[in-house]
Structure 1
Amino acid sequence: MIRAVLFDFDGVVAKTLESHARSWQHVLSRYGIQVDPRDIALNEGQPAIEILRAILAKNGLQLPEEELQELVRQKREHYQQTTEARAYDGVGDLLQRLKAAGYKTALVTGSIRSNMAAAVGEELLSRFDVVLTSEDVPRGKPHPDPFLEGARRLGVKPEECLVIENAPMGIRAAKAAGMRCVAILSTLGPEDLSGADYLVESISQIDPSAPYFR
């Protein structure tokens, strides 16, 4: 029986892909790189430095670790100053319905809290029982560690958790953790999210009375 719902952030709770892509483009233009938002979506869920490494590898470029860290810092600064990200319609209503039905909730993300706060504000973040970021676990998605730690902090077993994701890395992490997974088609197509147990078009379609909650 499902007792807790674990949400990813980017592409699930908030529409952030365009803002992330714009900020990565801002810091990588000097290298002649054209950032493809799909590459970000496919690697979403990992810490920013891993997304950067994936973009650079695709473009045949290797940089020293210090330079990678500086690029991540510059990207984070640009994102927080310029983001036009916002919460998806229906997020607040879903959280309210889950609370009323007795479900525990967690936000489990490869992002950092300051990025999330810049996008949706602290008030929305405070409505989750647990907020777990890339700063809280040594290994991020696609490893199961973030979701397992989320379950531990909520006081539930992995098999009692429903994960809401939108990216392959997150789906792999959820399944490796032994959790049921619903994927939202917000940034990628069904062919990219085939590892999920269920697919829905948007977060507003997540229904506590649906079969995946039983």
Structure 2
Amino acid sequence: MVSAGVYVFDLDGTLVDSVEAHMAAWLEALRALGVNKSWDEVRPLMGLPAHDIARALLPERAGELAALKNKLFLEKYLPLVRAYGDAEVLRLLPRPIAVVTSSSGHVARRVLVAVGLAPHVDLVLGGDEVPRGKPAPDPLYLVSQRLGVDTRDMVVVGDSDYDMEMAQAAGAAAVCIARKTPCRKAQHVIHTLHELLELPVKIFKNPPYETRGP
């Protein structure tokens, strides 16, 4: 067990500006399968694992819908995705750093490579790579196993209540980055990722390693 804090980041809406791109891919995939849904019908589902979104939208063809959505996203919408400027803070934080996302794992890894953040991330877990995705705590338990870190020594940074619920269920600190969607269940709220460098050490059960330089 390492006596240091570990940061666990959400991806979409936290490190990268990609929610609209995912939304567009979902809506196009639905239309291709003969289903018309509005933006307002789909938007509340963002943040859930992709397979759960697909089951909610088209249960009888969920697998087909999820596969088509991922294909459209990677082929058509990925070039529109950009890292937020403050995501550069990843290179200043102690390692290891994990990304836990509701996106499919292979999609998340492609996104991180495309926006240049992959070298700063040690572990990526997609929503299809855990028994239960957000808001269940399962992803953090798997991070704990993979990195040898107690969940109570994790700081989860995300932009939705699904992230906050996952963190609190596992005993981790829950930090909301207030971008487009307000978090109602956060323990701490920040407005830029650079504020992570200034958060009190007491949010960890054990103190983190010293912050690394550029």
Q: How does the TM-score come out when normalised to structure 2?
A: 0.82
Residues in 2 aligned to 1:43 and 1:179: alpha-carbon distance in whole angstroms: 24
Conserved? CA contact 1:45–1:167, under 8 Å: yes
SS at match of 2:102: coil
Give the AA of the match of 2:37. I
Residue 177 of structure 2 corresponds to residue 184 of structure 1: yes
Give the AA of the match of 1:147. L
SS at match of 1:9: coil
Residues in 1 aligned to 2:59 and 2:6: alpha-carbon distance in whole angstroms: 41
How has the CA–CA distance of structure 1 residues 210 and 166 changed in structure 2, closer, same or farther, with 3 Å as cutoff? same
Aligned partner of 2:101 among 105, 109, 115: 109
Residues in 1 aligned to 2:129 and 2:35: alpha-carbon distance in whole angstroms: 32
Residues in 1 aligned to 2:17 and 2:112: alpha-carbon distance in whole angstroms: 10
Gaps of 5+ in 2: 208-214
- What is the number of equivalent residue pairs in this alignment? 196
Q: How far did 1:149 drift?
A: 1.2
Aligned partner of 1:206 among 191, 195, 208: 195
How has the CA–CA distance of structure 1 residues 126 and 96 changed in structure 2, closer, same or farther, with 3 Å as cutoff? closer
Aligned partner of 2:166 among 161, 164, 173: 173
Residue 71 of structure 2 corresponds to residue 77 of structure 1: yes
Gaps of 5+ in 1: 57-61
How has the CA–CA distance of structure 1 residues 137 and 20 changed in structure 2, closer, same or farther, with 3 Å as cutoff? same
What pairs with 1:62-73 in structure 2 (closer than 5 Å)? 63-64=59-60, 67-73=61-67
Conserved? CA contact 1:125–1:131, under 8 Å: no
Root mean square deviation, CA, Å: 2.2
Conserved? CA contact 1:24–1:35, under 8 Å: no
Q: How far did 1:25 drift?
A: 1.2
Q: How far did 1:2 drift?
A: 5.5
Q: How far did 1:130 drift?
A: 1.5
Q: How far did 1:206 drift?
A: 3.0
Give a deviation string over 1:48-100, Cα, whole Å, max 9, x none: 1212334x3xxxxx541xx21111111111100112111111213x112113x
What pairs with 1:88-99 in structure 2 (closer than 5 Å)? 88-92=84-88, 94-99=89-94
Residues in 2 aligned to 1:44 and 1:34: alpha-carbon distance in whole angstroms: 13
Q: How does the TM-score come out when normalised to structure 1?
A: 0.82
